[in-house]
């Protein structure tokens, strides 16, 4: 943590540059602020005198208006307005200095103060005489008050004119001073900008020149050119350390490449040995797949052909021909090599052929529904994995039922998996039987009932081999309830390897 606060290297250069820039900008700003403050003080002095005299004149007018209104109406509101103006004017009159002065403005202001005292006295006598209903007295006092107020206004106007003349002169001088200050500020700002630009160029060039050289050498190394000459950069900051580290890195890369070449020769020999082992494993896997190939069930073939013969006698030849054609397609599909992958479209077509044969044999006793995501039909899967599951659902779930059987086939994608669901409304199974299906298969007798001889255990094993999956729960999931039916879900990995599997 201490290194963060060290004043060295690039950090020192950056701090010095920013301090110089801030100092220049600060001096310029302070100079402008100081001059603006002086101008404001002078303007405030001129405006303050004008405002004071104008307010004093307004107070005299308000006093006389209030007095006249009271004398003519004698209302309480008029009297209240009069005393309000009286108090305001009295406060301003008391604030006027009365000591002896030699300046004309001071003498005039002092006279205005004395006249305000007399005006307040005369107006107060007029109000008192009005209350006592002495007409001659309050009229005389009111007349005297008007005369005094006119003298006060005259003095105020003279003072305003005098201050206006002096203020005009001061404002002209101030305006000239402001022009000089404006040009001075402009010159200082331009000089600061030019100096900052110069500092930026010099500092940036000195800082980036070694970095550019280092970057060019690093780019050559990244392009595979390792015979670069060691950089000769002498600076007093972190770039010098970085340069030395880069030179050492290039040397280490060269040494490491030589070591990699040596290890590559050894690994090549190991890979050749691993290739031989892989070929041996592939041969064993092919042998295992071929050993799972089973034979056509003659009992099923007899029953199917018998049904076709009866239909040919009872109906025309069209349906019989279609039945025999579907049967031939089914047998032809089951006789293909199991190690060769097929598309989901091929598997679903095989299922349709099989279900056509079943529906032909058993009529309305069996219903079949499909919900297929057409975007998944091109995916490669092992051969004959769906038809055995559907056949298993019929044999063990629906064959011995009296009610109508229903089988639902659904193919959908769930994130990185393709889920193939086969659900029936058959007899269902107990938990112990589910475990035996997953762990041990259905037994020899159950296999023999299948048209292809391939049962649930066969499908599970082939899926595990095809996708190299060890955990059976990652391949299949079965849900079943007695009397309600069974759902079998095959889980197919969905990836580029699956779509282009050969």
Q: Which residue has the higher pLDDT, 117 or 98?
A: 117
- pLDDT, residue 11, reads 65
- pLDDT, residue 194, reads 84
Q: Which residues touch 338 (CB under 8 Å, ≥6 apart)?
A: 289, 290, 292, 293, 382, 383, 384, 462
pLDDT band at 71 (very low <50, low <70, confident <90, very high): confident
CA distances from 68 to 62, 75, 125, 129, 143 (A): 10, 11, 13, 13, 10
- pLDDT, residue 4, reads 45
Strand partners, 368: 407
Q: Alpha-carbon distance 423 to 410, whole Å?
A: 8
Rg (CA), the chain: 55
How many CB atoms sit inside 10 A of residue 137's CB? 15
Q: Which residue has the higher pLDDT, 244 or 397?
A: 397
List the domain boundaries for the chain. 2-202, 226-291, 294-499
The overall average pLDDT reported for the chain is 76
- pLDDT, residue 372, reads 94
On whether the CB atoms of residues 485 and 426 are closer than 8 A, the answer is yes
- Assess whether pLDDT exceeds 90 at residue 421: yes
- pLDDT, residue 284, reads 45
- Assess whether pLDDT exceeds 50 at residue 215: yes
DSSP label at residue 297 = -
Mean pLDDT of 50-64: 84
Q: Which residues touch 410 (CB under 8 Å, ≥6 apart)?
A: 370, 371, 372, 419, 420, 421, 423
Residue of 188, 250, 186 whose CA lies nearest to 214:
250
CATH architecture of the domain formed by 294-499: 2-Layer Sandwich (3.30)
Mean pLDDT of 195-205: 77
pTM for the full predicted model? 0.41
Say what percent of the chain tops pLDDT 90: 9
Tell me which range, 174-183, 327-336, 384-393, 438-447, is most confidently predicted by mean pLDDT.
384-393
Q: Alpha-carbon distance 335 to 112, whole Å?
A: 130
Structure tokens at 240: 């010098």
Q: Which residues touch 453 (CB under 8 Å, ≥6 apart)?
A: 294, 295, 296, 297, 447
- Assess whether pLDDT exceeds 50 at residue 500: no
H or E stretch at 417 = strand 417-424
Strand partners, 490: 420, 476
- pLDDT, residue 256, reads 77
Q: Which residue has the higher pLDDT, 298 or 356?
A: 356
- Assess whether pLDDT exceeds 60 at residue 502: no
Q: Which residue has the higher pLDDT, 370 or 228?
A: 370
Mean pLDDT of 46-60: 81
On whether the CB atoms of residues 386 and 350 are closer than 8 A, the answer is yes
Mean pLDDT of 49-54: 79
- Assess whether pLDDT exceeds 60 at residue 375: yes
Structure tokens at 301: 């073939």
Mean pLDDT of 402-418: 90
DSSP label at residue 403 = S
Spell out the long-range contacts of 248-252 with Cβ–Cβ below 8 A and sequence spacing 24 or more: 250/217, 250/221, 250/226
Mean pLDDT of 146-173: 80
Q: Quick: pLDDT tens for 76-110.
A: 888 888 888 888 888 888 888 877 767 777 788 88
| 228 CB burial (10 A radius; 0-12, 13-18, 19+) | middle
Mean pLDDT of 450-468: 76
DSSP label at residue 35 = H
Q: Sort residue 416 into left (φ over 0), alpha (ψ -120 to 50) or beta.
A: alpha
Roughly how many angstroms between the first and final C-alpha of the chain, as a whole number? Answer: 59
The CATH number given to 2-202 is: 1.20.1440.210
| 202 CB burial (10 A radius; 0-12, 13-18, 19+) | exposed
- Assess whether pLDDT exceeds 70 at residue 287: no
Q: Quick: pLDDT tens for 324-340.
A: 667 767 766 766 666 67
- pLDDT, residue 489, reads 93
- pLDDT, residue 291, reads 44
DSSP label at residue 229 = P
- Assess whether pLDDT exceeds 80 at residue 277: no
- Assess whether pLDDT exceeds 90 at residue 431: no
Q: Alpha-carbon distance 311 to 308, whole Å?
A: 5
pLDDT band at 470 (very low <50, low <70, confident <90, very high): confident
- pLDDT, residue 176, reads 75
Query: Could you tell me whether strands 417-424 and 476-481 are parallel, antiparallel, or unpaired per DSSP bridges?
Result: unpaired
Tell me which range, 124-133, 180-189, 412-421, is most confidently predicted by mean pLDDT.
412-421
Residue of 199, 171, 151 whose CA lies nearest to 25:
199
């Amino acid at each position: 943590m201490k290194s963060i606060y060290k004043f060295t290297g690039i950090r020192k250069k950056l701090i010095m540059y920013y301090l110089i820039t801030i100092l220049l900008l600060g001096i310029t700003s302070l100079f402008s602020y100081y001059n603006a403050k002086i101008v404001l003080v002078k303007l405030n002095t001129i405006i303050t005198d004008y405002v004071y005299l104008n307010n004093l004149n307004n107070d005299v007018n308000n006093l006389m208006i209030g007095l006249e209104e009271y004398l003519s109406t004698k209302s309480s509101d008029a009297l209240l307005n009069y005393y309000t103006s009286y108090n305001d004017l009295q406060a301003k009159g008391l604030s006027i200095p009365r000591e002896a002065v030699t300046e004309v403005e001071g003498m005039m202001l002092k006279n205005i103060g004395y006249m305000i005292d007399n005006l307040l006295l005369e107006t107060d006598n007029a109000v008192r005489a009005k209350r006592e209903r002495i007409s001659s007295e309050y009229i005389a006092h009111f007349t005297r008050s008007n005369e005094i107020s006119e003298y006060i206004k005259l003095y105020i106007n003279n003072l305003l004119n005098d201050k206006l003349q002096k203020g005009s002169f001061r404002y002209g001088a101030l305006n000239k001073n402001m022009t000089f200050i404006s040009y001075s500020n402009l010159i200082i700002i331009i000089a600061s900008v030019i100096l900052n630009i110069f500092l930026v160029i010099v500092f940036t060039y000195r800082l980036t020149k070694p970095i550019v050289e280092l970057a060019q050498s690093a780019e050559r190394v990244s392009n595979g050119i390792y015979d670069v000459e060691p950089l000769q950069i002498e600076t007093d900051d972190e770039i010098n350390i970085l340069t030395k580290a880069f030179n050492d890195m290039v040397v280490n890369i060269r040494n490491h490449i030589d070591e990699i070449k040596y290890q590559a020769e050894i690994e090549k020999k190991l890979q050749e040995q691993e290739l031989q082992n892989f070929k041996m494993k592939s041969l064993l896997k092919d042998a295992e797949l071929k050993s799972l190939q089973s034979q056509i069930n003659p009992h099923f073939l007899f029953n199917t052909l018998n049904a076709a013969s009866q239909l040919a006698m009872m109906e025309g030849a069209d349906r019989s021909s279609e039945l025999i054609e579907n049967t031939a397609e089914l047998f032809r599909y089951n006789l293909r090599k199991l190690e060769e992958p097929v598309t989901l479209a091929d598997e679903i077509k095989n299922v349709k052929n099989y279900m056509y044969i079943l529906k032909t044999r058993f009529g309305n006793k069996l219903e079949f529904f499909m919900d297929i995501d057409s975007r998944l039909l091109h995916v490669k899967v092992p051969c004959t994995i769906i038809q055995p599951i559907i056949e298993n659902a019929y044999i063990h779930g629906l064959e011995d039922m009296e009610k109508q059987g229903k089988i639902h086939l659904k193919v959908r994608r769930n994130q990185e998996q393709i889920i193939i669901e086969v659900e029936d409304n058959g007899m269902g199974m107990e938990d112990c039987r589910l475990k035996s299906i997953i762990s041990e298969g259905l037994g020899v007798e159950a296999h023999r009932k299948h048209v292809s001889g391939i049962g649930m255990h066969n499908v599970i094993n082939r899926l595990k081999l095809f996708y190299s999956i060890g955990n059976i729960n990652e391949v299949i999931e079965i849900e079943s309830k007695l009397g309600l039916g069974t759902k079998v879900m095959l889980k197919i990995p969905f990836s580029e390897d699956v779509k282009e599997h050969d």
